[in-house]
Chain A
Amino acid sequence: MVYLSQHRLSLCKEHYIEWYLKRVESTIKEFRMFERKDKVLVAVSGGKDSLSLWDALQRLGYRAEGLYIDLGIGEYSQRSRLACERFARERGLELYVLELRKEIATIPEIKEVESRPACSFCGQLKRYYMNRFAREKSYHVIATGHNLDDESATLLSNVLSWNMGYLSRQFPVLLEGDGFVRKVKPLVKFTEKENALYAFLSGIEYVEEECPFSEGASSIEYKRILSQIEEKSPGTKLRFYMDFLRRLHPLLRSEKVNLRPCRVCGEPTSAEVCSVCRLRERLSSRLLSSSPSS
């Protein structure tokens, strides 16, 4: 039996899976994320959230295919890639693999020229390549496995710094336009534990290991703090996030950003040259300066 304190529910394996699938479906409908005719690209990492999402969408009859971005982080990336490939093969699903090494450079290589935390530029690169891939392959929507713990930790961080720009963009659906494909987060109402339980009970073999670059990450601290509150007052996280979406988010005005195609790659950007192309330039100049002169 599985006990869900914030829902005051005790469920056996079969009923837990049924409950989970119904909740994924109702979240997709509540936020008008996509319909059964739409082609969905699921961004998979090999972890519990994205593989549970792909599994659920497939079971619910959606046209969902996977994209794995190989970040080139040693054994961690190798294991993650294998988990995604095995998952797709066992279910007869289409998985695309995009290697960062071939597109620009691996995350450890980029870390040598970048002063920002790896998670920061890694996220930016994933969003860039995911969007380009989805647009070129005519997907209607990109679905990611962001969960309630991710969203409530991000919300707490944005509230603590009153980052109005980030708050106005924090929503489970970001509509398409200006060269961007629609992005959705169908698992925003599930905690990480609920996703891990679904993965375990559904026999999904996912990578439990954490990315070596995420050690000491700030989001884990926020998640721990929120879980302490949740332990004393079950349901707080869900209420914190959902009430933000219902009550505060409609009052926030998103600032209009003037986007134009990047002069180098043509992807949408607010600058003349996008951040990925600027990073590529830095990488090439470093390579030139470190190569022996003839």
Chain B
Amino acid sequence: MKVKVSYRGQTLELEFEGERVRVGELLKALGLSREYAFVVKGEDVLEEKDTIVDGESVRVINAISGGYI
């Protein structure tokens, strides 16, 4: 299955096995932690256990930022 992901101004197409993928797995595939990133679909914030199905588009927001200390 394929999911379109909008992430920091880019559109990525990610492929997963099966018919659905959990939000937590999607974050993991992008190398992100739920501690600082989350997934939104339309106007809704998805929970970690929520699933995304083939062909859906989501946006991933990575909140981590920073400079030198």
Chain A residues packing against B (C-beta within 8 Å): 1-3, 47-48, 117-120, 122-123, 149-150, 153-154, 157, 191-193, 195-197, 200-201, 208-211, 213-214, 217-220, 222-224, 227-228, 230-231
**Sample (25) of A-B pairs whose CB atoms are under 8 Å apart:** A1-B45, A1-B47, A48-B63, A123-B67, A192-B36, A192-B63, A192-B64, A196-B63, A197-B38, A201-B45, A208-B61, A209-B8, A211-B67, A214-B67, A214-B68, A219-B66, A219-B67, A219-B68, A220-B66, A223-B36, A223-B66, A227-B33, A227-B35, A227-B36, A231-B35
Option from A3, A119, A213 in Cβ contact (under 8 Å) with B47: A3
Q: 5 shortest A-B CB distances, which residue pairs? A: A119-B67, A219-B66, A196-B63, A192-B63, A227-B35
The winner among B8, B9, B69 for most chain A CB atoms within 10 A is B69
Interchain nearest-CB distance for B19 vs A (Å): 24
B37 within 8 A of A: yes
Name the contact of A222 in the complex, choosing from B38, B47, B48, B69 (C-beta under 8 A): B69
Choose among A193, A217, A224, A227 the residue that contacts B68 (Cβ–Cβ < 8 A).
A217
> Can you name the residue of chain B whose Cβ is closest to the Cβ of A211?
B67
Contacts beyond the supplied A220-B65, A224-B64, A227-B64: 6 A-B pairs with Cβ under 8 Å: A120-B68, A192-B36, A193-B63, A200-B61, A214-B65, A220-B66
- Expressed in whole angstroms, the Cα–Cα distance for A152 and B50 within the complex equals 30
What's the least CB distance linking B49 to chain A, in Å? 10
* Interface size, chain B (Cβ < 8 Å): 21
**With A193-B38, A197-B38, A227-B35 given, is the CB distance from A149 to B67 under 8 Å?**
no
A119→B69 CA distance, assembly (Å): 8
Residues of A within 8 A of B9 (CB): 208-209
Closest to B69 in A: A157
Expressed in whole angstroms, the Cα–Cα distance for A117 and B69 within the complex equals 10
A77 to chain B, nearest CB (A): 15
In the assembled complex, the CB of B36 is this many whole angstroms from the nearest CB of chain A, namely 5
Interface of A is mostly: helix
Asked whether, in the complex, the Cβ of B40 is within 8 Å of the Cβ of A200, the reply is yes
Q: Hey, which chain A residues are within 8 Å of B61, CB to CB?
A: 196, 200, 208
Q: What does the 1/0 interface line of B27-69 toward A look like (CB < 8 Å)?
A: 0000001111110100001011000000000000111111111
A119 to B61 Cα, complex, angstroms: 23
Q: Kindly list chain A residues whose C-beta atoms are within 8 Å of the C-beta of B68.
A: 117, 119-120, 214, 217-219
Q: Which residues does chain A contribute within 8 Å of B69, judged by CB atoms?
A: 153-154, 157, 218-219, 222
- With A1-B47, A197-B45, A201-B45: A210-B65 Cβ-Cβ less than 8 Å: yes
Q: Which residues of A contact B34 (CB under 8 A)?
A: 231
Q: Closest CB of chain A to B46's CB: distance in Å?
A: 9
Say whether, besides A149-B64, A208-B9, A220-B64, A230 and B45 are in contact (CB < 8 Å).
no
Interface centre among B36, B61, B68 (most CB of A within 10 A): B68
A24 to B36, CA, bound (A): 20
Tell me if B67 and A217 are in contact (CB < 8 A): yes
